A and B are shown apart, each in its own frame.
Chain A
Amino acid sequence: MSGILAVLEAGQKISLETLAAARDLGAKLQLPVHVVEPDRNYTADDYTDSLAQLIREKSFDLILFPHTYQVRDFAPKLATRFDRALISDVIRLRVEGAKLFATRQLFQGKLNAELEPIGKPIFLSLQAGAYAPAEAQAPTETLPAAGTSRQKPEERYREAQRAVDLSAAPIIVSVGRGIKEKENLSLIEDLAAVLGAEIAASRPICDNGWLPMERQVGSSGQTVTPKLYLAIGLSGAIQHLVGMKGSKTIVAINKDPNAPIFEVADYGICDDLFDVVPALTAAIKAAKS
């Protein structure tokens, strides 16, 4: 056994969670922990080449990554170079003796699967929230650049300033696929109006062009922390949950009792939104008058 390598990503909070996981596993499996945080312009080819070299030199047994978009872009390639499959977006790790078990979600969070790695090295990426973040950054090893890359990246940019800042909204009414048709959005608008809430949505609603992209909450949209997050017809895929689970109170209305949104909701109504939402709008209007 020669150790654990934690590959961190500068400026990402989830990196500190990955560091905590590496230290926890290091203690339980009695393995030294090494940390690298490459600090240069990213390309998949460069990161893969230089990390592959490091892993070969030190023959690490376990390589941990934070499950970021950047990691998704190169870690499967790196694992393939060792003829291994990356066990991605792990939400829980369990150690039993010298054995490691990793839990990840299936079907957008409707089910979980516990996996046991076969063989070494093991490549794992950790989903946000799997561990409490480590308090202090670790000293990192330098990672020499491989020097070659076929990808030619340009400057990163943000598109025009968002007209809607959901991060400041105290109440958010958020809608998912359960709304079925664009025309049905009026139900959501009516409810948002009586609550004085901003409207938000999960990705598919914005992909369909039913609401503008700037109203999307989740890993590829905005992160919100309102006083009330009312999730309507929204299953709660992890990409959405990471953007809203910091909300003070979460209320979910969904007819599927196993929808993952009910794992984070404080209050839930398991019923058809087309029955509940108009009644709720009317009841709030009555309560306010």
Chain B
Amino acid sequence: MKILVAIKQVPARDSQLIASTDGKWVDESSLEYEINEPDAYALEEALQLKESAGGGEVIAVCAGPDRASSTIREALAKGADRAIHIEVEDIANWDTLSVAKLLAAAAKAESPDLVLTGLQSDDVGAGQVGVVLAELLGLPHATIIMEVVIDGATVRVKRELEDGWFQHVSMPLPAVLTIQSGIKKLRYATLMGIKRAKTKEVKSLSPADLGVANTPSYQVVSVMLPQKSKQTVMLHTVAELVDKLKNEVRVI
């Protein structure tokens, strides 16, 4: 079983974010980066599927600038067998479709049995790359997956629906799945894994190598702080809050 996992590098979760001077994205100068958390779960699921099958290959693919190599190394340290880095310095200017075209071109050359990715990214949060990849690769797909069972040439998955509902869906392999956070417990990279990662293959490709151009369906007009829908009354002491809870909310 050959499993391709699309991963993304995103600003660390507690980053203080301000708009860039051109007002089209965020100021990246002082940000730290980490693996997009839902993608970490997709990687974990891929590694466990390979382990339970007793063999196969997990390939991490990541489109991003040079700095994304640290996230790729992390995936290799956790157990991915090799990686593909699609080097795109201005990845923030690429829309979801154009990014998915890059990933699809790289995936096509690999002919994987299964493509996994997180259900959405913590930065843009469009939640589309997996579904678009499926269409570009001509594969069936399912989203927001909490369980994956492979049975020969078929995969049966448990989808999360809204409001506490679930559904099992089966489809033929190869297929694309987007993985819900929390599907399995995440592993840490071991010291041995980190050491081994250094010797693993990372193939570098450019958009030109893949024959993909950035053809956006939209342009960013501006990035700004949200307008508040409510005027939050900011309190400065616990005593003030207790007073509100007692006299206005009347729960004490």
A positions within 8 Å CB-CB of B? 44-45, 48, 68-70, 72-74, 76-77, 79-81, 83-89, 101-102, 105-119, 150-159, 162, 170-171, 177, 195, 203-204, 206-209, 219-223, 227-228, 248-249, 251-252, 256, 258, 260, 262-270, 276, 279-280, 283-284, 287-288
CB distance B96 to A86 under 8 Å?
Answer: yes
Chain B residues whose C-beta falls within 8 Å of the C-beta of A170 in the assembled complex: 251
10 contacts between A and B (CB under 8 A): A69-B143, A76-B127, A76-B131, A86-B128, A112-B224, A154-B168, A228-B245, A263-B230, A279-B238, A283-B239
Q: Given A115-B220, A152-B171, A207-B182: A158 and B125 within 8 A (CB)?
A: no
Q: Chain B: interface residue count, which band?
A: 35 or more
Q: List, in ascending order, chain B residues with CB within 8 A of A157's CB.
A: 165-167
Stretch at the interface among B58-66, B134-142, B189-197, B205-213: B134-142
Asked if B124 CB lies within 8 Å of chain A CBs, one says yes
Once the chains are docked, how many angstroms separate the CA of A116 from the CA of B222?
Answer: 10
Q: How far does the alpha carbon of A45 sit from the alpha carbon of B13 in the complex, in Å? A: 35
Contact present for B166 and A84 (CB under 8 Å): no
**B221 contacts A115, C-beta separation under 8 Å:** yes
**Told that A156-B165, A288-B252 touch, could you supply 7 new A-B pairs with CB distance under 8 A?**
A85-B96, A101-B221, A111-B225, A114-B224, A118-B218, A171-B251, A283-B239
Check A220/B223 contact, CB under 8 A, given A155-B167, A207-B182, A269-B235: no
Let me know if A108 and B131 touch, CB within 8 A.
no
Chain B residues with Cβ below 8 Å from A118 are 216-219
Q: Which of B128, B164, B182 contacts A88 (CB 8 A)?
A: B128
What is the CB-to-nearest-CB distance from B97 to chain A, in angstroms, rounded to a whole number? 4
Cβ contact within 8 Å between B96 and A206: no
With A76-B96, A157-B167 as contacts: A204 and B141 at CB distance below 8 Å: no
Shortest CB–CB separation between residue A160 and chain B, in angstroms?
11
Given A69-B162, A151-B169, A228:B17 Cβ within 8 A:
no
- Cβ B241 vs Cβ A280 within 8 A: yes
Query: Are A280's CB and B131's CB within 8 A?
Result: no
Q: How far is the CA of A113 from the CA of B224 in the complex (A)?
A: 6
Contact of B217 with A112 in the complex, beta carbons under 8 Å = no
Query: In the bound complex, do residue A83 and residue B249 qualify as a contact, i.e. CB atoms below 8 Å apart?
Result: no
Cross-interface CB contact of A83 among B97, B222, B245, B251, cutoff 8 Å = B97
Q: Which residues of B contact A89 (CB under 8 A)?
A: 125-127
With A119-B217, A158-B166, A203-B182 already in contact, the answer to whether A262 and B232 are too (CB < 8 A) is: yes
For the complex formed, measure the closest distance between the CB of A205 and the CB atoms of chain B, giving whole angstroms: 10
Identify B97's interface contact among A85, A220, A251, A256, CB under 8 A: A85
B143 touches A220 (CB 8 A): no
How far apart are A24's CB and chain B's nearest CB, in angstroms? 19
